[in-house]
Structure 1
Amino acid sequence: MNNVLTEDLNSLLTSEIEWSNFKDKRILVTGATGLVGSMVVRSLIYANEKLDLGLEVIGLIRNQAKADRIYEGCMGKDALSFCLDDLSGDEPISLEGKVDYIVHAAAVTTSKVMVSDPVGTIDVALKGTKNILNLAVEKGTKGVVYISSMEIYGQSADPEDTRESDLGYVDLAAVRSCYPEGKRMCECMCTAYAAQHGIRISSARLAQTFGAGILPTENRVFAQFARSALRGEDIVLKTEGKSEGNYVYTIDAVKAILMLLYKGEAGQAYNVANESSHTTIRKMAELVSKTLSQEKSKVVIDIPADSKKLGYAPDVKMKLNSDKIEALGWKPTVGLTDAYRRMAEWMKEQKMI
């Protein structure tokens, strides 16, 4: 186990999470080979080892070899097993035994896939979520957290102080809208199941999440910026960088998700963002240059002629308000500069440069 991630996981053990809620529980995590899902799994099996919780963690995956690579050497993995399933299929999930909690993190997260396979993106979202919610009903699950996204807001109705009720405009004529509109429908489905079946389901609308624990295959903009800076290469923006980003550190996001499993209100959504970690893409690139390369890496704008085919999200101006989840006791601990420093340390240790 790597040092910076161990520090993060240890901080989780002494955080505001009430670990007694997970004693002797069986927890299913979908998307267990993605960033958010894998971090939730790592955190649970680590806490189980250190706190003797008697947990059983099931990672729902599509690729066993990928899962084996991700969890090789992880502390506490004896408590972890896997379920192979394609959530976008029409067949129900076959899983024996009880399921006390579910974290549903499986989703398409690559912009290029969203525009090259929008139908598949929708299928993963809608069919996958319906299959998970049917499983929760079947098992009488105590709590479900659906991993949503800040993209659900579209062009926010209140860009200066975006709260959970401030849904804005999403252009349905844009192919990439399959992602935010799919997230909206999945949240609507969660609300319907909560009302009709009495399952306590809440949605975590995550800001852009990154930090120690990112996977070697990660290619989203935060990882691209860090790699370029650590190599002393120019940081190349494929847009003008005007979008205002909302961010949250990996372990802070995990803390929010775990808290919502036992504290989240049925049918409710919660913004998960560090309000101090808010900036434009351009300014973030400049921060990365300064922090990781001492400004040796220059910020360059190079917009490709076929940029629409790459599936970049439209420019947005939005600042997420996190009052609702902070009222439950959640507090973010790692700001944007330290998030990049810690992620860079992780990338070096994992030879991801």
Structure 2
Amino acid sequence: MIDNPILQEDLEFIANKILNNGYFSNSTILITGATGLLGSLIVKSCLYANKIFNTNITVLATIRNREKADQVFQGFTSNPKLKLITNNLLEPITINESIDFIVHTASITASKEMVENPTSVLLTAFESTKNLLEYLKKHSNTKMVYVSSMEYYGQISDNYENVTEEQLGYIDLSKPRSSYPESKRVCEALCNAYTAQYNLEVCSARLAQTFGAGVPLSDSRVFAQFAKSAVNKTDIILHTSGQSEGNYCYTADAIYGLFLLLQKGQQGQSYNIAHNHSSILNMAKMVAEKIGHNQIKVKVQIPENINSLGYAPDVKLKLNSDKLKNLGWQPEVDLENMFKRMIKSWEF
């Protein structure tokens, strides 16, 4: 079922950390955005736990493209515990199965689309979340985790080196790119409004940038570009000054955190999921040194059309994840090994 030993190690880690305690056994879990990185790994984690622990979890995976789903879930599509659903999340949810848990990962995350199609970014986030919350109104025993983002915080001027969940920074709403962080804010607000008014079991996960085994070689995000530069022994080219600070989390650690929130997350609460921190420039230098063995260099080449590329503004932000750790979360993979495990997984 798994032909990638790195990914298999991660699925075993998740199963042993959170899925073998009986809490999720014999349940039905709906995963939105199931062909994305997070969604697909949640699906595979459940099915892998079924195999090794007989947890008997039924997975309902919402997809938009069946051909992509067949590729992402190769080796899993014949599993009777996986049901691929093509429901349009922008319309009322019509699912006959009784659902115990929902993880709402579906979101438009392409930076270019945030600039060129900001209305879709906002409306897709809002309408899909609203429709899921309307489902929860009718099925009050269902618990949902909304997957938010560290971009929720915007630009924080005070105490940015220890950002806890109650802090909030500035977002420039005149910029189309702000459609993404603002969509996260409005969806969290919507979740909390429904929770307060209808007593729903919903919490939010503010996720750091997540990567590791499971990221396809075709990925074009900055961390993947750095990794491929190290593999190909080509210099790392930065299109910004690299001063923006990022928060990162290994894929398996993040999935483990999301399952923990399904089990222990408090209604109406938000939780940071972050383990590693670095500026873009320092991360590039680390990759060049540790992964590229000092055989490559880091160069800064800022394009003239930088404002049209959808890059987030420079942000200084270091997330504090103590709130999630107080629930028992214990992440294990540091930034260097995030890169090493992702690159190793590309060999299979």
TM-score strictly above 0.5: yes
Write the mapping of 1:1-353 to structure 2, written as runs, cut at 5 A: 1=2, 2-16=4-18, 19-74=21-76, 77-87=79-89, 89=90, 91-156=91-156, 157-274=158-275, 277-349=276-348
Rounded to whole Å, the distance in 2 between the matches of 1:51 and 1:137 is: 32
Q: Is the 8 A contact 1:16 1:330 kept in 2?
A: no
Q: Is the 8 A contact 1:45 1:75 kept in 2?
A: no
Q: Is the 8 A contact 1:203 1:270 kept in 2?
A: yes
User: Aligned partner of 1:43: which letter?
Assistant: S
Rounded to whole Å, the distance in 1 between the matches of 2:139 and 2:70 is: 27
For 1:230, what is the secondary structure of its paired residue? helix
Rounded to whole Å, the distance in 2 between the matches of 1:232 and 1:85 is: 44
Q: Is the 8 A contact 2:20 2:55 kept in 1?
A: no
Rounded to whole Å, the distance in 2 between the matches of 1:94 and 1:154 is: 35
Q: Is the 8 A contact 2:19 2:49 kept in 1?
A: no
Once the 2 structures are TM-superposed, how far is the Cα of residue 131 of structure 1 from its aligned partner? 1.0
1:133-169, Cα deviation, whole Å (9 max, x unpaired): 1122223343100000000000124311000011111
Once the 2 structures are TM-superposed, how far is the Cα of residue 76 of structure 1 from its aligned partner? 8.6
Once the 2 structures are TM-superposed, how far is the Cα of residue 74 of structure 1 from its aligned partner? 4.2
Kindly tell me: are residues 102 and 279 of structure 1, through their superposed partners in 2, closer, same or farther at Cα, counting changes over 3 Å? same
Rounded to whole Å, the distance in 2 between the matches of 1:17 and 1:54 is: 11
Over the aligned positions, Cα root-mean-square deviation in angstroms equals 1.4
Once the 2 structures are TM-superposed, how far is the Cα of residue 18 of structure 1 from its aligned partner? 5.9
Point out the more displaced range, 251-260 or 188-197: 188-197
User: Aligned partner of 1:122: which letter?
Assistant: L
Q: Is the 8 A contact 1:104 1:144 kept in 2?
A: yes
Q: Is the 8 A contact 2:192 2:202 kept in 1?
A: yes
1:250-296, Cα deviation, whole Å (9 max, x unpaired): 0000000001012100000000011xx21110010111112222122
Rounded to whole Å, the distance in 2 between the matches of 1:193 and 1:285 is: 42
Number of residues of Structure 1 aligned to a counterpart in Structure 2: 345
Q: Is the 8 A contact 1:102 1:141 kept in 2?
A: no
> Identity, % of aligned pairs?
45
Rounded to whole Å, the distance in 1 between the matches of 2:299 and 2:78 is: 44
User: Aligned partner of 1:203: which letter?
Assistant: S
Q: Is the 8 A contact 1:49 1:76 kept in 2?
A: no
Rounded to whole Å, the distance in 1 between the matches of 2:278 and 2:60 is: 36
Q: Is the 8 A contact 2:154 2:169 kept in 1?
A: yes
Q: Is the 8 A contact 2:149 2:184 kept in 1?
A: yes
For 1:270, what is the secondary structure of its paired residue? strand
Rounded to whole Å, the distance in 2 between the matches of 1:141 and 1:61 is: 24
Rounded to whole Å, the distance in 2 between the matches of 1:30 and 1:5 is: 21
For 1:9, what is the secondary structure of its paired residue? helix
Rounded to whole Å, the distance in 2 between the matches of 1:27 and 1:186 is: 21
Gaps of 5+ in 2: none
For 1:107, what is the secondary structure of its paired residue? coil
TM-score (norm 2): 0.96
User: Aligned partner of 1:181: which letter?
Assistant: E
Kindly tell me: are residues 76 and 22 of structure 1, through their superposed partners in 2, closer, same or farther at Cα, counting changes over 3 Å? farther
For 1:20, what is the secondary structure of its paired residue? coil
* Displacement over 4 Å in runs of 4+: none
